[in-house]
Amino acid sequence: MQRKILLDEKELPKSWYNIMADMPRLPAPPLHPATLKPVGPEDLSPIFPMSLIEQEVSTERWIGIPEEVLDIYSLWRPTPLFRAFSLEKALNTPARIYYKYEGVSPAGSHKPNTSVPQAYYNKKAGIKRLATETGAGQWGSALAFAGRLMGLAVTVYMVKVSYEQKPYRKMAMQTWGADVYPSPSGLTESGKKILAADPWNPGSLGIAISEAVEDAATHPDTNYALGSVLNHVLLHQSIIGLEAKKQMEMAGDYPDVILASCGGGSNLGGIAFPFLKDKVEGKALRAVAVEPASCPTLTRGEFRYDFGDTAGLTPYLMMYTLGHDFVPPGIHAGGLRYHADAPLVCQLYHDGLIEAKAYGQTSVFEAGLLFARTEGIIPAPESAHAIRGAVDEALAAKEEQKERVILFNLSGHGNFDMAAYDNYLSGKLVDYEYPEELIKEALLKLPKIG
Ligand SMILES: *Cc1c(COP(=O)(O)O)cnc(C)c1O
C-alpha cells in the first residue's frame, strides 16, 4: 500500500499545457472599456512583458518551460501525490481518494508555480521591479519569493486590515526582501485620494490593485503581476495536472472526479486542464469547482462582461460574475473572495466541461478538521473547500456502495491561518449565503455588452 506517489526530479514536465488548443469554444476576447474593441498587445504592454502577453493569447498546445524556471521549480517540484488511506478509513468509503499536495512550495501554496515564471519573463524583458497587491498575503509571499530568487525587487500593496491583523505573511514577504505597504498607502495617487477622504480606510483588494497597477504604469522599469484569473497564470499552473497525470498512471488509477477550490480558478485549471484534454477526446471524467456559498460566482453569478478589478482599471473580461463591486462579508474566514473567475474556467463551465458546487464555511472547516485529524496536514481554508467536495463524493460512493476514484488539489497548507481555525473551534464562524438582492443590484450597475 503506497501512500506517496513520487516523481523523480528528471520527470518534471518540460512544457506547460495550454487548454486553448483543445477547448470546444475559446473565451470571448477581453474588451477595452472605452472603445469596447478587443484589447491589443499595446494596451497591455505598459504593465506586462510581451512574452506573457503572447502566452495570454496563444493557442499552441505545449509551451516550453525555460531552464531557469525548471531550476527553481526543482526546489519543491515534482510535488507528491498522496493516497488518502486514513481519510478513506475514517469515512469507511469504497472510494479511492488521492490528493496532490502543493503546500510543499516555499510559500506554502500553488502560487509560486506562476510567480516564478512571471518573475523570469519580466527579468528577461529588462524589468527591475514588480508591483502587486495581496489580501491575506499568499500571492504577495509567492511573488516576494520568486522576485528574490530571480533578482527583481518586489513591492506589495497589502490590504491594510490584513497588514495589521495577519502579520506573519507580511513578515515572510519582508524576509524574502519585498517592500510591503499597507494599502491605501500615501505612495500612489489612488491611495492618497482615498486617505484624504478617509484616513482610517481599512483598504480592500480593489484599492490595492489600483495602487499596484498605478505604480507599474507610472514607472518604466516596473511591471504588474497577477496571481490568478489570466490565461498565462492557468497555463503555468498546468504543471500540477501534468505531474498528477503521470502519478495517477503510476498508481494504476484514473480519476472519475477531480475537485479543486475555486477563487480565481488557477489551482482548479492547474490540476484539471491536462485531464480535461482527455474529456474533450471522449473520456468519462467530471471536474468540479468548489466555491464558498458566501462568494458563489459560478453557481449564482451571471456570464457576462465585467471588470477584473473593483476599481474598474482592467479590461472587460467575459466571466461568471457577482459584479465587480462585490463586497465579501467580513464574517467570512475561508478565502476565495474574488468577484468572478478566470475566463477559461468560466467558458468551460458554460460549455458543460466543468461543474460547480458551493458550501458554507462551517461545513468546509468541518472537512478541513477531519483532514487534519486523519491525514495530518492542516489545510489552507481555501483548500478545505476541495476537501469538503471530495468527502461528499466519497460519502456518495459509500451510499451507492460503488468504487469511485477521487482526485483533489490540496492547494496549500493552513499554518498561517490559525486565526480562522481558532474562530471555527471556538464556535465563532457562522454560515452566510450571499443575498440574491445584492447580486441583482450589483449586476444592474454593469453595462450590457453584446
Ligand atoms: C490563492 C489560493 C487559492 C485560490 O486561488 P485560485 O486562483 O482559485 O487557485 C486557493 N488555495 C490557496 C492555498 C491559495 O493560496
- Spell out the residues 6+ positions from residue 420 whose beta carbon is closer than 8 angstroms to its own: 333, 334, 365, 381, 414, 429
Q: How many CB atoms lie within 10 A of CB 302?
A: 17
The residues pairing with 409 across neighbouring beta strands, listed in sequence order, are 100
* Radius of gyration of the chain, Cα coordinates, nearest whole angstrom: 21
Look at the domain 67-108+231-443 and name its fold: Rossmann fold (3.40.50)
CA of 400 relative to ligand 1 center, distance in Å = 32
What confidence score (pLDDT) does residue 165 get? 84
Q: Which atom in ligand 1 lies closest to the alpha carbon of residue 263?
A: 8
- H or E stretch at 300: helix 297-300
Segment 346-360, tens digit of pLDDT: 999 999 999 999 999
Please tell me if the CB atom of residue 265 comes closer than 6 angstroms to any atom of ligand 1.
yes
How far is residue 434 from each of residues 345, 383, 437, 441, measured CA to CA in Å?
21, 20, 9, 12
DSSP string, 47-106: TS-HHHHHHHH---SEEEPPHHHHHHHTTTPSPPEEE-HHHHHHHT-S-EEEEEE-TTST
- Tell me if 427 sits within 8 A of 307, measured CB to CB: no
Segment 238-276, tens digit of pLDDT: 999 999 999 999 999 999 999 999 999 999 999 999 999
Q: How far apart, in whole angstroms, are the C-alpha atoms of residue 142 and residue 444?
A: 36
- Tell me if 128 sits within 8 A of 172, measured CB to CB: no
Closest CA to 376 of 429, 350, 414, 319: 414
What confidence score (pLDDT) does residue 203 get? 87
Residue 5 exposure: Cα atoms within 13 Å on the Cβ side: 21
Please tell me if the CB atom of residue 240 comes closer than 6 angstroms to any atom of ligand 1.
no
- φ/ψ region of 376 (left if φ > 0, alpha if ψ in -120 to 50, else beta) reads left
CA of 313 relative to ligand 1 center, distance in Å = 23
What confidence score (pLDDT) does residue 22 get? 98
What confidence score (pLDDT) does residue 450 get? 65
- Spell out the residues 6+ positions from residue 112 whose beta carbon is closer than 8 angstroms to its own: 76, 105, 106, 142, 145, 146
How far is residue 415 from each of residues 142, 173, 381, 418, 441, measured CA to CA in Å?
15, 15, 10, 6, 37
Regions of the chain short of the pLDDT cut 50: none
Q: For residue 27, give the C-alpha cell.
A: 473565451
Please tell me if the CB atom of residue 108 comes closer than 6 angstroms to any atom of ligand 1.
no
Please tell me if the CB atom of residue 266 comes closer than 6 angstroms to any atom of ligand 1.
yes
Nearest CA to ligand 1 atom 10: 382
Please tell me if the CB atom of residue 141 comes closer than 6 angstroms to any atom of ligand 1.
no
Closest CA to 141 of 114, 108, 107: 107
Please tell me if the CB atom of residue 111 comes closer than 6 angstroms to any atom of ligand 1.
yes
Q: How far apart, in whole angstroms, are the C-alpha atoms of residue 46 and residue 216?
A: 8
What are the φ and ψ backbone dihedral angles of 75, each rounded to 5 degrees?
Answer: -65, -30
What confidence score (pLDDT) does residue 447 get? 77
CA of 135 relative to ligand 1 center, distance in Å = 12
Segment 273-314, tens digit of pLDDT: 999 999 999 999 999 999 999 999 999 999 999 998 877 888
Q: For residue 394, give the C-alpha cell.
A: 466519497
CA of 265 relative to ligand 1 center, distance in Å = 8
Domain ranges of the chain: 67-108+231-443
What confidence score (pLDDT) does residue 449 get? 82
- Tell me if 169 sits within 8 A of 215, measured CB to CB: no
* Sign of the alpha-carbon torsion through 139, 140, 142, 143: positive
